Amino acid sequence: MTVEIEFDSYWQDDFLHRMENDGPWGSWELFKLAIEVEKHLVIPDFEGLQAPNHLPNLTPLPHQLETAKQVIENMNGKAILADEVGLGKTIEAGLILKEYMIRGLVKKVLILVPASLVTQWAIELNSKFFIPAVTQRKSYVWEQSDVVVSSIDTAKRNPHRDIIFNQDYDLIIIDEAHKLKNNKTKNYEFVQNLKKKFCLLLTATPIQNRIEEIFNLVSLLKPGHLGSETAFYEKYKRDARSLNDDEHLKELVNKVMIRNRRADTGIEWTKRQVETIPIEFSIPELELYEAITTLRNEGDWIQASSFSVMTLQREACSSREAVFYTLKNMLQKKENPTPAFEEQIQYLIKKVEAVQQNSKAEKALELIQKVNDKVIIFTEYRATQMYLQWFLKQHGISSVPFRGGFKRGKKDWMRELFQKHAQVLIATEAGGEGINLQFCNHIINFDLPWNPMRLEQRIGRIHRLGQEKDVMIYNFAIKNTVEEHILKLLYEKIHLFEKVIGELDDILTKLEFGNIEDHLLDIFGQSSSEGEMRIKMENLSSMIEFAQDMKKGDTHAAAGNS
Amino acid sequence: MQQQEIHNYLLKYFQANDCPIIENKPGYLTVQLTIELDKQLMNRPFYWHYLEKTGGIPNPMSLTFITNKDKAPENIKGEIIHFGSPRLHQIFDSSKKLASYIRLYENHRQFNHQTPLLPWLCLNVKISYQCDRKRDIFKSIGLQLINGKMVEDFHDRLMQVPLTPKIPDYSFTLSPLVRPKSGMTRIENYLKSVIEQDDHTWADDARKRWDQDLRLLEHFYEEVEEEENENYETEKKALQEQYEPKINISFINGGIFYLTEKAI
């Protein structure tokens, strides 16, 4: 037995001192209480989790407890947590952190998260885990507080950087760690230089990304786990697509990564029911839409402006207020507008003024009254948001607005108002960091976002852990407009709405090209005719289908939680 | 710790600290803090500093603890206390701090003749086996400072003995033959021998894990140029901190007890 034994000599010296000076002595009652406590706080086993005993208000799900246990017992406290969105990675990280703190293995903790999540992390750790996490606001916080939450962009800059490197962290948690996939970035270098005794990397996107990115992420966590850089690339091609190709590599990665999937959690997820509601324009609305559409064929004035016809078309499908707001902006921003330009705008404004009703809003009202329950309406436009709030109020329906730009406190306040007092929440931006609204199960997509990921985020606000009812999604689309085309071409064709987030993640990463959002913007923004748009869309959807088929082939071989 | 145990614990803690108990009903407890406990628990040094400077009348706070929401009245305001709540752990720490050292006498009832009381040294310790994991062992050791007799589970035995802080009438204490300092060394050596006989595969396993990760690390940095050696050193140190097996013996509390011959 060669383990070094340390004996706390401070107590002994103090005791002898008191023997000499005849006290002071403590009370027997307190002495007994101290022992009673200590017997409760002693950790009897290396294995198992103590944290749940300390968290009576939190009921972790089986997969979350299992993950925490795995990380501590089999991964030695260094892991990539890569659960699908909505399965509670934060809870898992909190459990692990709490367990280490209870066991006295971790005291000083650094938590690096995107700036928009800093407050939320601190609140969750405090309220759910009773961990006194502090947000970094002043530079002395680094030294004085044991658990600090900060954005990586703040942390990597001086003076913070130097102070951080002087701290002795026991545990480092990094949220959204997939942003560290490139080892040439400053962020990567910063994290690499940190001393990582225990370390958790949280990532929402699956790691079956490019093999290079896997190497970088794993090497950050555990250098050498995948070998040295040269040895690794000798064995695997740098531009290889997926680690599914190599069983051995997959196994290695799974030693440091846990990825729970919705399907594996054993939780009964409620269903999503999607209904597309086609809506007819009224005559003046149709005239406005057509006036905009014909602009495309009328000379080059529109190309000179930064606003596209497509934008105006989409806005016309939402509300006249949205169109008007853009037109006003176009006039104001144009330097030395030609008379023809001004005339054109004025012509459109006249058309806007001619519109007296909003067919979609009326449909929404009808639907809200029929549902007679809480409803979330998503729109892309603030003008529409304001109009809808006014419109609903005219009909005696209370609503609260919600925007991504609201400060944390205001967001929470709006959420509470919605939960307790209002029937409708009208939101312009779901935002990854938005709020959770499980108590509501109806969503109206008043207009559709270009980017399907945004749509997922919208639905994800309510279709998550804690949702007890089936989720109803109503998609509004005006007949014979660009909106209907989008819906047909993209969403219906690939049954996007029925997909859950993780599966979509996988599909998107299988795509051989970059950002799907860029593609959609290109298709809908740059196409000069509907025909071109349709062809490009066909292309995109067949590629997505192809990726889906590929996935079906190897679902069971995919890198899952072992 | 069950909620009822926590309730009783709080009650005993505040009673032991001479805090008046304002209410003690099922599910909740209201206490008036003393000045001393207010300073310890309420974390308002500026208030106390101000008061001492201005000579104002101190107004220590009263606290309500809700130990069982279902039993407590609905409208009551207070801190909800459970095993994980920071307030409870603050009180745990406080009870440890307030009673680290003790000296007590057996309150025997033998008034007919002078009774000798034998000195016992008591140490309550926590032994922690620590690598990237951890477990603890609680030990309570008593050493009689006349004949050197050593006893385990000493605290549990003491619980059966009536004790008092003042030496009872008709009693006299025997002077220790073993000095407390060497008594402590004896207990220390005893604990070490107990530890040595324990199973330490945990430490061997931790060293294996350490070694494994270290080899991976070395391989990773083999071809890397000099300037990045700093990272290598950092990582190496991190591995040591993560895995290196250690055993810590820390004191919870202890003291000197004068007991009759038959007490233990």
CATH of the domain at A412: 3.40.50.300
Q: Which of A304-308, B178-182, B202-206 has the lowest mean pLDDT?
A: A304-308
Residue B177 shares a structural domain with residue B227: no
What pLDDT, on a 0 to 100 scale, did the predictor assign at position A556? 44
3-state secondary structure of A109: strand
Q: Which of A31-35, A439-443, B16-20, B62-66 has the lowest mean pLDDT?
A: A439-443
Residue B158 shares a structural domain with residue B252: yes
- What domain range includes position A535? 272-278+356-554
User: Average pLDDT, stretch B1-5?
Assistant: 85
Residue by residue, what is the 3-state secondary structure of A40-68? HHCCCCCCCCCHHHHCCCCCCCHHHHHHH
Q: How far is A128 from chain B (nearest CA, A)?
A: 11
Residue B98's closest CA among B236, B261, B238, B252?
A: B252
How many Cβ atoms are within 10 Å of A237's Cβ, its own excluded? Answer: 11
With cut-offs at 50, 70 and 90, classify the pLDDT of residue A298: low
Residue A247 shares a structural domain with residue A368: no
Dihedral (Cα; A38, A44, A46, A48), 10-degree rounding: -100
Q: Residue A530 pLDDT > 90, yes or no?
A: no
Whether residue A20 lies within 8 A of chain B, CB to CB, comes out as no
Whole-Å CA distances, B73 to B27, B31, B64: 8, 17, 12
Higher pLDDT, B50 or A507: B50
Is there a contact between B133 and A224 if contact means CB atoms under 8 Å apart? no
Whether residue B113 lies within 8 A of chain A, CB to CB, comes out as no
Q: Which of A211, A232, A265 is a domain's end point? A: A265
Q: Tell me the chain B residues in contact with residue A4 when contact means C-beta distances shorter than 8 Å.
A: 246-247
Count of structural domains, chain B:
3
Q: Residue B112 pLDDT > 90, yes or no?
A: no
Asked if residue B122 lies in contact with residue B254, where contact means CB atoms within 8 angstroms, the answer is: yes
User: Average pLDDT, stretch A247-252?
Assistant: 78
Count CB pairs under 8 A between chains A and B.
Answer: 209
Residue B107 shares a structural domain with residue B143: yes
What pLDDT, on a 0 to 100 scale, did the predictor assign at position A296? 62
Residue B148 shares a structural domain with residue B138: yes
How many Cβ atoms are within 10 Å of B80's Cβ, its own excluded? Answer: 15
* Structure confidence by residue, pLDDT tens digits, A154-186: 899 888 999 999 888 999 999 988 888 888 889
Asked if residue A187 lies in contact with residue A156, where contact means CB atoms within 8 angstroms, the answer is: yes
Q: Which of A294-308, A337-351, A415-429, B129-143 has the lowest mean pLDDT?
A: A294-308
What pLDDT, on a 0 to 100 scale, did the predictor assign at position A533? 73
Asked if residue A405 lies in contact with residue A460, where contact means CB atoms within 8 angstroms, the answer is: no
Is A535 domain-assigned?
yes
Residue A388 shares a structural domain with residue A243: no
With cut-offs at 50, 70 and 90, classify the pLDDT of residue A509: low
CATH code, A189: 3.40.50.10810
Whether residue A195 lies within 8 A of chain B, CB to CB, comes out as yes
* Structure confidence by residue, pLDDT tens digits, A189-230: 899 889 899 999 998 765 555 678 888 888 889 888 888 888
Residue A261 shares a structural domain with residue A360: no
Q: Name the residue facing A53 among B83, B130, B249 (closest C-beta).
A: B83
Asked if residue A253 lies in contact with residue A207, where contact means CB atoms within 8 angstroms, the answer is: yes
Residue B135 shares a structural domain with residue B94: no
Residue B58 shares a structural domain with residue B119: no
Half-sphere exposure (CA, 13 Å, Cβ side) for A269?
Answer: 21
> What percentage of residues in chain B have a pLDDT greater than 70?
98
Cα A157 to the chain's mean position, in Å? Answer: 25
Sign, Cα dihedral of A473, A479, A480, A481: negative
Q: For residues A288 and A354, give the distance between their C-alpha atoms in angstroms, rounded to a whole number.
A: 8
DSSP class of residue A177?
Answer: G
Is B114 domain-assigned?
yes
Whole-Å CA distances, A471 to A361, A460, A468, A490, B163: 21, 10, 9, 21, 67
Q: For residues B35 and A363, give the distance between their C-alpha atoms in angstroms, rounded to a whole number.
A: 66
Is B59 domain-assigned?
yes
What pLDDT, on a 0 to 100 scale, did the predictor assign at position A493? 54
What pLDDT, on a 0 to 100 scale, did the predictor assign at position A173? 96
* Structure confidence by residue, pLDDT tens digits, A88-111: 889 999 999 999 999 989 999 999
Q: For residues A66 and A267, give the distance between their C-alpha atoms in angstroms, rounded to a whole number.
A: 14
Is there a contact between A38 and B99 if contact means CB atoms under 8 Å apart? no
User: Average pLDDT, stretch A477-493?
Assistant: 76
Is B137 domain-assigned?
yes
What pLDDT, on a 0 to 100 scale, did the predictor assign at position A557? 43
What pLDDT, on a 0 to 100 scale, did the predictor assign at position A510? 56
Residue B207 shares a structural domain with residue B196: no
Residue B91 shares a structural domain with residue B16: yes
User: Average pLDDT, stretch B223-245?
Assistant: 82
Q: Residue B227 pLDDT > 90, yes or no?
A: no
* Structure confidence by residue, pLDDT tens digits, A126-161: 888 988 899 988 777 888 888 999 999 889 988 899
Is B38 domain-assigned?
yes
Q: For residues A398 and A391, give the distance between their C-alpha atoms in angstroms, rounded to a whole number.
A: 10
Is B17 domain-assigned?
yes
Residue A254 shares a structural domain with residue A368: no
What pLDDT, on a 0 to 100 scale, did the predictor assign at position B144? 95
Is there a contact between B247 and A29 if contact means CB atoms under 8 Å apart? no
With cut-offs at 50, 70 and 90, classify the pLDDT of residue A276: confident
Q: Residue A561 pLDDT > 50, yes or no?
A: no
Residue B154 shares a structural domain with residue B211: no
pTM equals: 0.73
Q: Tell me the chain B residues in contact with residue A223 when contact means C-beta distances shorter than 8 Å.
A: 216-217, 220-221, 231, 235
Q: Tell me the chain A residues in contact with residue B195 when contact means C-beta distances shorter than 8 Å.
A: 1, 5
Residue B208 shares a structural domain with residue B193: no
Q: How far is A224 from chain B (nearest CA, A)?
A: 4
Which residue of chain A is at minimal alpha-carbon distance from B159?
A: A32
Residue B114 shares a structural domain with residue B146: yes
Q: Residue B19 pLDDT > 70, yes or no?
A: yes
What pLDDT, on a 0 to 100 scale, did the predictor assign at position A451? 62
Q: Residue B17 pLDDT > 70, yes or no?
A: yes
Q: In sequence order, what are the residues at sequence separation of 6 or more whose Cβ sits closer than 8 angstroms to the Cβ of residue B142?
A: B120, B121, B122, B150, B151, B154, B157, B158, B257, B264
Higher pLDDT, B202 or A3: B202
Give DSSP secondary structure letters for A282-315.
PHHHHHHHHHHHHHTTSTTHHHHSSS-HHHHHHH
Q: For residues B179 and A301, give the distance between their C-alpha atoms in angstroms, rounded to a whole number.
A: 101
User: Average pLDDT, stretch A438-450?
Assistant: 85
Q: Mean pLDDT of all residues in chain B?
A: 91
What pLDDT, on a 0 to 100 scale, did the predictor assign at position A548? 64
Place of tokens 């050593």: B150
Whether residue B156 lies within 8 A of chain A, CB to CB, comes out as no
Residue B141's closest CA among B162, B160, B120, B159?
A: B120
With cut-offs at 50, 70 and 90, classify the pLDDT of residue A560: very low
Count of structural domains, chain A:
2
* Structure confidence by residue, pLDDT tens digits, B127-181: 999 999 999 999 999 999 999 999 999 999 999 999 999 999 889 999 999 999 9
Is A559 domain-assigned?
no
Q: Residue A46 pLDDT > 80, yes or no?
A: yes
Q: Which of B47, B68, B98 is a domain's end point? A: B98
* Structure confidence by residue, pLDDT tens digits, A361-410: 999 999 999 988 999 999 989 999 999 999 999 999 999 998 877 776 78
Whether residue A56 is preceded by a cis peptide bond, meaning omega within 30 degrees of 0, is no
Is there a contact between B246 and A4 if contact means CB atoms under 8 Å apart? yes
Is A23 domain-assigned?
no
What pLDDT, on a 0 to 100 scale, did the predictor assign at position A562? 36
Q: Residue A491 pLDDT > 80, yes or no?
A: no
Q: Residue A86 pLDDT > 90, yes or no?
A: no
Asked if residue A168 lies in contact with residue A108, where contact means CB atoms within 8 angstroms, the answer is: yes
Residue B192 shares a structural domain with residue B225: no
Helix and strand totals (H; E) in chain A: 26, 14
Q: How far is A42 from chain B (nearest CA, A)?
A: 5
Q: Which of A209, A244, A265 is a domain's end point? A: A265
Q: Name the residue facing B83 among A54, A194, A197 (closest C-beta).
A: A54
What pLDDT, on a 0 to 100 scale, did the predictor assign at position B257? 96
Q: Mean pLDDT of all residues in chain A?
A: 81
Is there a contact between B238 and A77 if contact means CB atoms under 8 Å apart? no
> What percentage of residues in chain A have a pLDDT greater than 70?
81
The two tokens of residue A291 are 């006036």
How many Cβ atoms are within 10 Å of B245's Cβ, its own excluded? Answer: 20
Sign, Cα dihedral of A494, A496, A499, A502: positive
Higher pLDDT, B1 or B144: B144
Q: How far is A225 from chain B (nearest CA, A)?
A: 6
Is A44 domain-assigned?
no
Q: For residues A401 and A136, give the distance between their C-alpha atoms in angstroms, rounded to a whole number.
A: 30
Whether residue A114 is preceded by a cis peptide bond, meaning omega within 30 degrees of 0, is no
Residue A368 shares a structural domain with residue A236: no
Q: In sequence order, what are the residues at sequence separation of 6 or more whose Cβ sits closer than 8 angstroms to the Cβ of residue B221?
A: A223, A224, A228, B228, B229, B231, B232
Q: Which of A207, A234, A265 is a domain's end point? A: A265
Among B96, B141, B157, pick the best mutation site for testing chain A contact (most A Cβ within 10 A): B96
Q: Which of B78, B98, B118 is a domain's end point? A: B98
* Structure confidence by residue, pLDDT tens digits, A403-431: 877 776 787 788 889 888 999 999 886 54
Q: Rounded to 5 degrees, what are φ and ψ at A439?
A: -75, -5
Packing angle of the helix pair A309-318, A320-333 (nearest 10 deg): 150
Is A321 domain-assigned?
no
Is B264 domain-assigned?
no
- What domain range includes position B112? 103-200+248-259
Is A320 domain-assigned?
no
